[in-house]
Protein backbone atom coordinates (compact mmCIF):
# COMPACT_ATOMS: atom_id res chain seq x y z
CA UNK A 1 0.00 0.00 0.00
CA UNK A 2 1.47 3.34 -1.09
CA UNK A 3 -0.21 6.19 0.77
CA UNK A 4 -1.02 9.52 -0.88
CA UNK A 5 0.27 12.30 1.36
CA UNK A 6 0.07 15.91 0.27
CA UNK A 7 0.62 19.24 2.01
CA UNK A 8 -0.79 21.97 -0.20
CA UNK A 9 -2.33 25.42 -0.39
CA UNK A 10 -5.01 24.33 -2.85
CA UNK A 11 -8.41 22.87 -2.03
CA UNK A 12 -9.19 19.22 -2.88
CA UNK A 13 -12.17 17.32 -4.30
CA UNK A 14 -13.29 14.57 -1.94
CA UNK A 15 -15.02 12.52 -4.64
CA UNK A 16 -11.88 12.49 -6.82
CA UNK A 17 -9.68 11.51 -3.90
CA UNK A 18 -11.98 8.70 -2.76
CA UNK A 19 -12.31 7.37 -6.29
CA UNK A 20 -8.54 7.25 -6.71
CA UNK A 21 -8.32 5.41 -3.40
CA UNK A 22 -11.08 2.91 -4.11
CA UNK A 23 -10.18 2.19 -7.72
CA UNK A 24 -6.66 1.08 -6.80
CA UNK A 25 -7.84 -2.39 -5.77
CA UNK A 26 -10.99 -4.36 -6.58
CA UNK A 27 -11.37 -5.77 -3.05
CA UNK A 28 -11.98 -2.34 -1.46
CA UNK A 29 -15.39 -2.60 0.20
CA UNK A 30 -15.14 0.29 2.68
CA UNK A 31 -13.77 3.82 2.58
CA UNK A 32 -13.95 5.81 5.81
CA UNK A 33 -13.03 9.46 5.59
CA UNK A 34 -12.82 12.61 7.62
CA UNK A 35 -12.93 16.21 6.42
CA UNK A 36 -11.99 18.98 8.83
CA UNK A 37 -13.36 22.46 8.11
CA UNK A 38 -12.70 25.97 9.36
CA UNK A 39 -15.47 26.79 11.87
CA UNK A 40 -16.75 30.35 11.64
CA UNK A 41 -17.80 30.66 15.26
CA UNK A 42 -16.60 33.43 17.58
CA UNK A 43 -16.26 35.97 14.78
CA UNK A 44 -13.36 34.19 13.06
CA UNK A 45 -12.39 35.95 9.84
CA UNK A 46 -9.53 33.68 8.74
CA UNK A 47 -7.29 30.83 9.83
CA UNK A 48 -3.63 30.61 8.84
CA UNK A 49 -1.78 27.31 8.97
CA UNK A 50 1.97 26.87 8.97
CA UNK A 51 3.94 23.63 9.06
CA UNK A 52 7.45 22.20 9.32
CA UNK A 53 8.21 21.05 5.76
CA UNK A 54 9.92 17.68 5.66
CA UNK A 55 9.08 16.69 9.21
CA UNK A 56 5.35 16.91 8.51
CA UNK A 57 5.46 14.44 5.63
CA UNK A 58 7.74 12.13 7.60
CA UNK A 59 5.45 12.11 10.65
CA UNK A 60 2.38 11.41 8.53
CA UNK A 61 4.16 8.63 6.63
CA UNK A 62 5.22 7.03 9.90
CA UNK A 63 1.68 7.07 11.24
CA UNK A 64 0.19 5.67 8.05
CA UNK A 65 2.76 2.85 8.24
CA UNK A 66 1.78 2.25 11.85
CA UNK A 67 -1.92 2.16 10.87
CA UNK A 68 -1.08 -0.32 8.13
CA UNK A 69 0.60 -2.60 10.68
CA UNK A 70 -2.47 -2.46 12.94
CA UNK A 71 -5.23 -2.84 10.33
CA UNK A 72 -5.39 -4.56 6.91
CA UNK A 73 -5.47 -1.38 4.82
CA UNK A 74 -5.82 -1.26 1.04
CA UNK A 75 -5.10 2.47 0.71
CA UNK A 76 -4.78 5.74 2.60
CA UNK A 77 -4.90 9.40 1.59
CA UNK A 78 -3.92 12.33 3.81
CA UNK A 79 -4.20 15.88 2.46
CA UNK A 80 -3.53 18.83 4.76
CA UNK A 81 -3.81 22.40 3.59
CA UNK A 82 -1.55 25.25 4.72
CA UNK A 83 -1.78 28.99 4.21
CA UNK A 84 -4.75 31.27 4.89
CA UNK A 85 -8.25 29.77 4.91
CA UNK A 86 -11.74 31.22 5.44
CA UNK A 87 -14.67 29.90 7.50
CA UNK A 88 -16.20 26.89 5.76
CA UNK A 89 -12.98 25.99 3.89
CA UNK A 90 -11.75 22.41 4.01
CA UNK A 91 -8.53 22.00 6.05
CA UNK A 92 -7.79 18.30 6.04
CA UNK A 93 -8.85 15.02 4.45
CA UNK A 94 -8.01 11.62 5.86
CA UNK A 95 -9.44 8.68 3.91
CA UNK A 96 -8.74 5.00 4.46
CA UNK A 97 -9.74 2.03 2.28
CA UNK A 98 -10.12 -1.53 3.51
CA UNK A 99 -12.14 -4.65 2.73
CA UNK A 100 -14.46 -4.06 5.71
CA UNK A 101 -15.74 -1.06 7.57
CA UNK A 102 -14.37 -1.53 11.09
CA UNK A 103 -10.73 -1.44 9.93
CA UNK A 104 -11.42 1.61 7.76
CA UNK A 105 -13.17 3.53 10.56
CA UNK A 106 -10.59 2.70 13.20
CA UNK A 107 -7.58 3.51 11.04
CA UNK A 108 -9.17 6.80 9.96
CA UNK A 109 -9.76 7.87 13.57
CA UNK A 110 -6.27 6.73 14.54
CA UNK A 111 -4.71 8.87 11.80
CA UNK A 112 -6.81 11.92 12.70
CA UNK A 113 -5.88 11.64 16.39
CA UNK A 114 -2.20 11.46 15.50
CA UNK A 115 -2.41 14.29 12.98
CA UNK A 116 -3.86 16.45 15.76
CA UNK A 117 -1.16 15.65 18.31
CA UNK A 118 2.02 14.78 16.38
CA UNK A 119 2.07 16.37 12.93
CA UNK A 120 3.87 19.73 13.06
CA UNK A 121 1.15 22.16 12.00
CA UNK A 122 0.18 25.35 13.82
CA UNK A 123 -3.01 27.37 13.45
CA UNK A 124 -3.35 31.13 13.90
CA UNK A 125 -6.84 32.59 14.15
CA UNK A 126 -7.67 36.08 12.96
CA UNK A 127 -10.74 37.86 14.30
CA UNK A 128 -10.98 41.27 12.62
CA UNK A 129 -7.64 42.87 13.52
CA UNK A 130 -6.84 40.45 16.39
CA UNK A 131 -4.53 37.51 15.74
CA UNK A 132 -3.87 34.59 18.12
CA UNK A 133 -2.18 31.19 17.94
CA UNK A 134 -4.52 28.30 18.71
CA UNK A 135 -3.71 26.47 21.96
CA UNK A 136 -3.40 22.68 21.91
CA UNK A 137 -6.32 20.86 23.57
CA UNK A 138 -5.84 18.27 26.31
CA UNK A 139 -8.75 16.29 24.80
CA UNK A 140 -6.69 15.75 21.65
CA UNK A 141 -3.83 14.29 23.70
CA UNK A 142 -6.30 11.99 25.44
CA UNK A 143 -7.77 10.89 22.11
CA UNK A 144 -4.31 9.97 20.80
CA UNK A 145 -3.45 8.25 24.09
CA UNK A 146 -6.14 5.59 23.66
CA UNK A 147 -4.24 3.98 20.73
CA UNK A 148 -1.13 3.24 22.81
Partner 1 sequence: MTLLYFAWVRQKVGVAEETMNLPPGVTTLKDLIAHLEQRGGGYAEAFGNPQRLRAAVNQEHAGFDAAIADKDEIAFFPPVTGG
The smaller minimum CB distance to a second copy, of residues 54 and 138, is found at 138
How far, in Å, CA of 99 to CA of 142, rounded? 29
Site for a second copy (CB under 8 A): which residue of 79, 112, 114, 119?
A: 112
Q: Which one, of 76, 89, 100, lies nearest residue 9 by Cα?
A: 89
List 122's β-bridge partners, or say none. 50
Pairwise CA distance, residues 101 & 52, whole Å: 33
Residue 18 found at the interface with a second copy (CB under 8 A): yes
Tell whether residue 143 is a contact of a second copy (CB under 8 A): yes
- Give the three-class secondary structure for 132: strand
**Residue 117 interacts with partner 1 (CB under 8 A)?**
yes
**Residue 16 binds a second copy, judged by CB under 8 A:** yes
CB of 84 to a second copy, least distance (A): 17
Instruction: Please state, in angstroms and rounded to a whole number, the distance separating the CA atoms of residues 123 and 24.
Output: 33
Residues 43, 115: Cα–Cα separation, whole Å: 26
Residues that bind partner 1 (CB under 8 A): 36, 49-52, 54-55, 58, 80, 91-92, 101, 112, 115-124, 133-136, 140
Residues that bind a second copy (CB under 8 A): 13-16, 18, 22-23, 26-41, 87-88, 99, 101-102, 104-105, 108-109, 112, 143
Amino acid sequence: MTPHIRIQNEDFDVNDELEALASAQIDVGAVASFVGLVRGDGGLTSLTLEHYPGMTEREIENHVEEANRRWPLLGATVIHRVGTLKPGDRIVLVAVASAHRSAAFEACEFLMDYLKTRAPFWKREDRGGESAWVEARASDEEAAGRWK
